[in-house]
């Protein structure tokens, strides 16, 4: 409802012909399902921004594929600054593997919100009292290591740790930190590298036991937990969460965004969030500082992926089940069942009756034409022609009704979608 | 129910935006429910693109109100023109239409509205009570349990609707296959994308949904363009008398419990509940021979049951992410598009959503009594809008709805193709509902299988070593093969 009201305001503004940015809600496109650190950080920041600026900003999750889904979605949007990509090292790993249509050089940094170290955690009732214990266990039985995404930062951190410590790891990918917390609580996995933001609550309540911090120095909230370096394993990984826009975005919009984000991140709401997560003000970086760092991180990610052999050989990620196994099983089952159904119904109906008689064929043709009409003639004219065609084909004799329906419907639809919901339509007559 | 619960509910009842949306949802629901060919599943599918512009709680309030009201709306046309507005109302026509023919349409509608509302309200309370319980149990659910449960959901497709079990299963598998398009979550490998970046993140759920439900029905409706329908005259709609209520109170109660239970079962929804509700009402009745001639118990039985199934169906949908019916699958899809993840997390972190659903279903169930009683007269007239006018307009909404989602023409093509394929499949006896169930469950079933295999170090026997997964795998086998096994045994013995 709030967005509707906002859109009404937007109509007023656009009527006066002003070019203001942002003129509709800003979307932060994340890759994580709700409950994880990336999601919580983005939502808190959006809240902080809205509390001081007159800007409507929301979080739009596009989960899956190690951030590739989110990045490709971002890439397809109009690059006017209303779509902002939330990035974590996970995205950079996917980019380094060449999986996304987005390239690091296409992006420009707006701000960094967190620099959140990873902490290796196990369940309180597990026998792993320290990191060495876990590593030795892994030498005989692979450690079941929960990760947020395939090739995500926590995956790479685990894999590098296993490499340095000469132990074995079975990676169990989930679609976000929230799911890892659930599965570590239910002890379906042995260990995970979680951010403090994701699991501090569980540590405080004594459900999870932190074994090692993957940061250069110990962190203030967990003073008794050693770093991996102290234990002799040189593994340093943190979840950096920052925001970027496409390089095609107009410069003045980028500047506006940097100002807006800076004000939000320095707001008390976000500061409280950082403190509650065991982070400091140093987590935040604006503009160039972040822009340079993201490029460095990308280079680090690429080197780590090379070391693990993921870039050279992506099949390394397959564990026990090939990605083609499930679709193949489905196709074979569908074929077998269809043959069975055909055999059972062999007497009932002429087999190749697809159910197309004359009326239905005409309707189907009009349906196919409707796609072309809509994309070429645009919403108003295209839909009008479509309505006339379909009603005519169906034998609408009352010409008055025919034209009335064909004229009013497209205009109503245009008004609702274009003005109220801000949909931009295709078509040469509506470019 | 603690203070907190009341607090949440009060927040919703005092939120004018939400109440407005619930009212709209109820009104649209009754309307589309009453229009033959338009079902609440289709209406929710068409509304999904709009709901993305709303806050999660607003969109779910709208959808769940529509779900409840649509299930009731079907009975209006079932009673007045002997054409159920939606499949769950088919059984209502058996006794509703004869009663209306006797000039007691008002009474029939009154009984239907009251029974529907009571059934719905009972099930909503069941939802409020059982969903959090189930969600708490779900904390001990790991990937193997989810896999077994999702498999059970697919196996239940064998028994939905009147179509052949094998064809329903085929539909479910087609849905699962569609869900594998795009980048694999486990390995990041592309599947069935043919190098097209638009398909990297998979086939979008909403265009497929609109195509399967609306476009395939539109092709179907083109056969009926010259049918004329006639509505029976309707006297003033009245609430059932005390004597009537006494007669049907046991039927309503029984059907409500049956409906809620059937709703909770994965995949089984209102249509099945209504059929069983009708049969049980007949079986328990003092004069079963009068059924089919306008018995009020024959209206109360299916109507209480089909509305009770709505609340029931939301239980596994919200607590586990396993849809309890085809319409619930669509609502689930809508929630996922919004980025919400049903399951225990939803209840712990976003209790306001659960209460939003609860409150909107409760309000919708009360609102449609009024809309049904006072609006039936007009609604019956609306249901006579000629197909030649109604469906071309629906087509425009489909196109713009599919396009508006991501402003991509690919989605429009996906929708049109899905509709045409859906029509052909329907002609072969594969209905859209199982396809949608498969599509919604696809990612869950595949990733939980892959995750389980990692946990079991590649051993398939692991599924039998955990009691809950063993139980659901056993239940799946029973629902896949139970019927034929039973028939074979009967032959042998």
Residue-wise pLDDT for B291-322, tens only, equals: 988 899 999 999 999 999 999 999 999 988 88
Q: Which residues of A touch B424 (CB under 8 A)?
A: 354-355
pLDDT computed for residue B378 by the predictor: 80
Q: Within a domain: residue A327?
A: no
Of A34, A69, A368, the CB nearest to B341: A34
Domains: count for chain A: 3
Q: Please indicate, yes or no, whether residues A225 and A129 belong to a single structural domain of this protein.
A: yes
Candidates A82, B352, B209; CA nearest to A74 is A82
Could B457 and A395 be called an inter-chain contact, meaning their C-beta atoms sit closer than 8 Å?
no
According to DSSP, the β-strands at A191-195 and A143-147 are parallel
Count CB atoms within 10 A of the CB of residue A428: 10
Q: What's residue B163's pLDDT?
A: 67
Residues of chain B with pLDDT under 50: none
Contact B396 A383 (CB under 8 A): yes
Q: Which pLDDT value is given to residue A335?
A: 95
pLDDT of res. B377: 76
Does residue A296 share a domain with residue A188? no
Residues A310 and A291 in one domain: yes
Given a contact cutoff of 8 angstroms between Cβ atoms, the answer to whether B441 and B214 are in contact is: no
Q: Are residues A81 and A121 in the same domain?
A: no
A38 chain-B contacts, CB cut-off 8 A = none
Pick from A334, A390, A426: which is nearest to B392 by CB? Answer: A390
Angle between helices B105-137 and B56-81 in degrees, nearest 10: 150
Whether residues A109 and A245 fall in one domain? yes
> Is residue A124 included in any domain, yes or no?
yes
Tell whether A185 and A195 lie within a shared domain. yes
Measured between CB atoms, which of A182, A344, A371 is closest to B416? A371
Task: Kindly report the nearest CA distance between residue B407 and chain A, in angstroms.
Answer: 7
Domain identity same for A123 and A105: no
Q: With contacts defined as CB-CB under 8 Å, which chain B residues touch A412?
A: none
Q: What is the pLDDT of residues B18-73, one digit of tens each?
A: 899 999 999 989 888 888 777 888 888 888 877 877 878 888 889 999 999 999 98
Residue B428: helix, strand or coil by DSSP? coil
Q: Is residue A233 part of a domain?
A: yes
How high is the mean pLDDT of chain A? 84
Phi and psi for B446 in degrees, rounded to 5? -75, -45
Q: Of A317, A344, A377, at which residue does a domain stop? A: A317
Phi-psi region of B192 (alpha: psi -120 to 50; beta: other; left: phi over 0): left
Residues A88-112 have pLDDT tens digits of: 888 898 888 887 888 999 999 999 9
Domain end position, chosen among A300, A317, A334 = A317
- Say what the pLDDT of residue A352 is: 62
Within this chain, do residues A249 and A313 fall inside the same structural domain, yes or no?
yes
- The pLDDT mean for chain B works out to 86
Q: What angle is formed at CA B367 by the lines to CA B365 and CA B373, rounded to 5 degrees?
A: 105
Tell me if A423 and B407 make a contact (CB, 8 A cut-off): yes
DSSP, res A316: G
Contacts of residue B412, defined as CB under 8 A and 6 or more positions apart, other chains included, come to: A371, A374, A375, B207, B399, B402, B403
Full pLDDT tens readout for chain A, 431 residues: 444 444 444 444 444 444 578 887 888 998 876 666 788 889 889 889 988 888 888 888 777 666 887 898 898 888 989 999 999 888 898 888 887 888 999 999 999 999 888 999 999 999 999 999 999 999 999 999 998 767 778 888 898 899 889 999 888 888 777 788 888 988 889 999 998 777 888 888 899 999 999 988 888 888 999 999 999 998 888 889 999 999 999 999 999 999 999 999 999 889 988 887 778 888 899 989 999 989 988 887 888 888 777 776 666 667 788 888 999 999 999 999 999 888 887 777 665 667 778 888 999 999 999 999 988 888 888 999 999 999 989 888 888 989 899 999 998 888 877 776 666 676 555 43
Distance CA A116, CA B166 (A): 52
Q: Are residues A244 and A234 in the same domain?
A: no
Closest CA to B71 of B302, B384, B241, B292: B302
Report in angstroms the alpha-carbon separations of A154 from A116, A213, A239, B332: 12, 12, 8, 29
**Rounded distance, CA B336 to CA A62, Å?**
10
Which residue from A245, A330, A183, A153 is spatially nearest to B144, judged by alpha carbons? A183
CA distance B407 to A423: 7
pLDDT in tens, A220-237: 888 999 999 999 998 888
Count how many Cα atoms sit within 13 Å of the Cα of residue B78 in the half-sphere of its side chain: 30
Set of chain B residues whose Cβ sits within 8 Å of the Cβ of A410: 396
Nearest CA in chain A to B180: A327
Three-class SS state of B276: helix
Q: Which of A199, A218, A238 is the last residue of a domain?
A: A238
Judge whether B225 and B387 are in contact, CB under 8 Å.
yes
Q: CA–CA separation, B382 vs B376, rounded Å?
A: 10
Which of B187, B189, B404 to mutate to probe the A interface, most A CBs <10 Å? B187
**What is residue B263's three-state secondary structure?**
helix
Helix (H) / strand (E) containing A115: strand A107-123
Contact partners, residue B94, CB within 8 Å, separation at least 6: B278, B291, B292, B298, B302
Co-location of A286 and A177 in the same domain: no
Contact: B400, A423; criterion CB under 8 Å:
yes
Q: Which two tokens stand for residue B320?
A: 């586990």
Residue count of chain A, please give it. Answer: 431
The verdict on a CB contact (< 8 Å) between A65 and B219 is no
Chains A & B: contacts with CB separation below 8 Å: 267
- Measure in Å the smallest separation between the Cα of B226 and chain A Cα atoms: 9
**Tokens, residue A216:** 């250069």
- Interface touch B166/A344, C-beta < 8 Å: yes
- Binning chain B into helix, strand and coil, the percentages to the nearest 5 are 80, 0, 20
Asked, for residue A58, whether it belongs to a domain, the answer is yes
Tell me how close the Cα of A217 comes to any Cα of chain B, in angstroms. Answer: 32
Domain residues for the domain of A135 are 116-238
CA–CA distance, B76 with B112 (Å, rounded to integer): 8
Q: What burial class does residue B233 get, using C-beta atoms within 10 Å of its C-beta: 0-12 exposed, 13-18 middle, 19+ buried?
A: exposed
Task: Name, in order, each residue with C-beta under 8 angstroms of B305's C-beta and a sequence gap of 6 or more.
Answer: B119, B255, B256, B258, B259, B262, B270, B273, B274, B276, B277, B278
- Find, in chain B, the residue whose alpha carbon is nearest to that of A170: B454
C-alpha to C-alpha distance for B408 and A357, rounded to whole angstroms: 32
Quick one: which of A118, A72, A262, A425 has its CA closest to B202? A72
* Number of other residues whose CB lies within 10 A of the CB of residue B228: 6
Closest residue in chain B to residue A171, using alpha carbons only: B454
Q: Residue B233's pLDDT is what?
A: 67
| Domain harbouring A169, CATH code | 3.40.190.10
CB-based contact B219 A367, cutoff 8 Å: yes
Give the separation between CA A410 and CA A392, rounded to whole angstroms. Answer: 17
Q: Nearest C-alpha of chain A: how many angstroms from B123?
A: 28
**Domain-embedded: residue A350:** no
Any idea what the CATH number is for the domain that residue A94 is in?
3.40.190.150
> Which chain B residues are within 8 Å of A76, Cβ to Cβ?
197-198, 406, 408
Cα angle A335, B220, B24; round to 5: 110
Task: Give yes or no: residues A193 and A233 share one domain.
Answer: yes
How far apart (Å, rounded) are the C-alpha atoms in residues A70 and A278? 28
Task: Answer left, alpha or beta for residue B112, where phi above 0 means left and psi between -120 and 50 means alpha.
Answer: alpha
Residues A413, B400: C-beta atoms closer than 8 Å: yes
């Amino acid at each position: 409802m709030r967005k509707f009201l906002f859109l009404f305001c937007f109509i007023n503004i656009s009527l006066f012909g002003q070019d203001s940015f942002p003129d509709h809600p800003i979307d932060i496109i994340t890759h994580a399902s709700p409950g994880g650190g990336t999601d919580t950080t983005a939502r808190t920041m959006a809240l902080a921004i809205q509390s001081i600026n007159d800007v409507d900003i929301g979080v739009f999750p596009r989960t899956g594929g190690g951030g590739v889904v989110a990045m490709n979605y971002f890439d397809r949007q109009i690059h006017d600054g209303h779509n902002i990509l939330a990035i974590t090292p996970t995205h950079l790993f996917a980019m380094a593997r060449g999986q996304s249509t987005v390239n690091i050089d296409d992006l420009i940094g707006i701000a960094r919100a967190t620099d959140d170290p990873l902490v290796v955690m196990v369940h309180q009732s597990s026998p792993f009292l320290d990191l060495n214990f876990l590593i030795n266990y892994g030498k005989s039985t692979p450690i079941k290591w929960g990760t947020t995404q395939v090739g995500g930062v926590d995956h790479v951190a685990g894999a590098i740790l296993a490499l340095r410590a000469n132990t074995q790891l079975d990676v169990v990918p989930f679609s976000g930190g929230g799911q890892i917390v659930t599965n570590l609580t239910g002890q379906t996995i042995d260990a995970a590298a979680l951010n403090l933001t994701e699991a501090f609550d569980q540590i405080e309540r004594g459900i999870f036991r932190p074994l090692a911090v993957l940061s250069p120095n110990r962190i203030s909230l967990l003073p008794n937990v050693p770093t991996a370096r102290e234990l002799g394993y040189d593994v340093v990984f943190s979840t950096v969460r920052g925001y970027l826009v496409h390089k095609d975005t107009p410069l003045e919009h980028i500047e506006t965004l940097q100002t807006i984000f800076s004000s939000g991140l320095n707001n008390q709401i976000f500061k409280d969030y950082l403190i509650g997560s065991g982070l400091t003000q140093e987590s935040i970086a604006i503009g160039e500082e972040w822009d340079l760092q993201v490029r460095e991180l990308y280079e680090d990610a690429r080197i780590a992926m090379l070391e693990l052999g993921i870039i050279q050989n992506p099949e390394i990620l397959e564990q026990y089940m090939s990605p083609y196994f499930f679709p193949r099983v489905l196709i074979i089952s569908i074929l077998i069942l269809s043959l069975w159904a055909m055999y059972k119904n062999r007497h009932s109906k002429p087999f190749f009756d697809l159910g197309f008689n004359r009326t239905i064929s005409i309707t189907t043709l009009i349906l196919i034409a409707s796609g072309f009409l809509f994309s070429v003639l645009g919403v108003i004219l295209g839909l009008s022609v479509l309505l006339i065609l379909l009603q005519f084909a169906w034998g609408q004799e009352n010409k008055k009704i025919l034209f009335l329906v064909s004229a009013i419907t497209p205009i109503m639809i245009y008004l609702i979608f274009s003005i109220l919901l801000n949909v931009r339509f295709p078509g040469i007559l509506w470019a | 129910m603690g203070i907190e619960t009341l607090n949440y509910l009060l927040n919703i009842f005092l939120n004018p935006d939400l109440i407005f949306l619930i009212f709209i949802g109820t009104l649209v629901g009754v309307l589309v429910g009453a229009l033959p060919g338009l079902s609440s599943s289709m209406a929710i599918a068409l509304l999904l693109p709009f709901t993305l512009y709303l806050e999660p709680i607003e969109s779910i309030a709208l959808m769940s109100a529509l779900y409840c009201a649509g299930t009731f709306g079907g009975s209006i046309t079932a009673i007045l023109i002997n054409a159920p507005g939606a499949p769950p109302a088919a059984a209502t026509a058996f006794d509703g239409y004869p009663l209306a023919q006797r000039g007691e349409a008002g009474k029939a509608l009154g009984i239907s509205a009251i029974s529907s509302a009571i059934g719905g309200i009972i099930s909503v309370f069941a939802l409020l009570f059982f969903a959090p319980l189930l969600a708490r149990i779900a904390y001990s659910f790991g990937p193997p349990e989810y896999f077994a449960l999702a498999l059970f959901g697919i196996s239940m497709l064998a028994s939905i609707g009147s179509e052949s079990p094998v064809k329903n299963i085929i539909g479910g598998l087609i849905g699962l296959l569609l869900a594998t398009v795009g980048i694999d979550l486990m390995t990041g490998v592309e599947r069935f994308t043919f190098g097209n970046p638009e398909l990297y993140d998979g086939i979008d759920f909403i265009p497929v949904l609109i195509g399967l439900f609306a476009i395939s029905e539109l092709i179907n409706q083109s056969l009926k363009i010259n049918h004329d329908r006639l509505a029976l005259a309707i006297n003033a709609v009245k609430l059932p008398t005390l004597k009537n209520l006494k007669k049907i109170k046991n039927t309503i109660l029984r059907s409500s419990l049956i409906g809620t239970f059937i709703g909770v079962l994965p995949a089984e929804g209102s249509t099945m509940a209504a059929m069983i509700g009708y049969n049980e009402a007949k079986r328990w009745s003092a004069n079963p021979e009068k059924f089919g001639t306008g018995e009020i118990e024959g209206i109360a039985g299916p109507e209480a049951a089909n509305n009770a199934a709505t609340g029931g169906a939301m239980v596994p949908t919200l607590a586990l992410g396993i849809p309890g019916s085809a319409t619930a699958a669509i609502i689930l899809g809508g929630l996922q598009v919004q980025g919400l993840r049903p399951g225990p997390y939803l209840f712990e972190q976003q209790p306001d959503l659960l209460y939003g659903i609860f409150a909107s279903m409760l309000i919708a169930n009360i609102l449609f009594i009024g809309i049904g009683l006072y609006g039936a007269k007009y609604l019956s007239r609306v249901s006579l809008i000629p197909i030649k006018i109604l469906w071309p307009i629906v087509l425009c909404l489909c196109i713009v709805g599919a396009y508006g989602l991501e402003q991509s023409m690919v989605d429009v093509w996906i929708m049109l193709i899905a509709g045409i394929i859906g029509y052909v499949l329907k002609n072969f006896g594969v209905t859209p509902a199982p396809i949608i169930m498969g599509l919604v469950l696809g990612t869950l079933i595949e990733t939980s299988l892959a995750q389980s295999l990692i946990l079991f170090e590649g051993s398939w026997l692991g599924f039998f070593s955990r009691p809950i997964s063993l139980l659901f795998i056993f239940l799946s086998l029973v629902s896949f093969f139970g019927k034929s096994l039973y028939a074979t045994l009967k032959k042998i013995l």
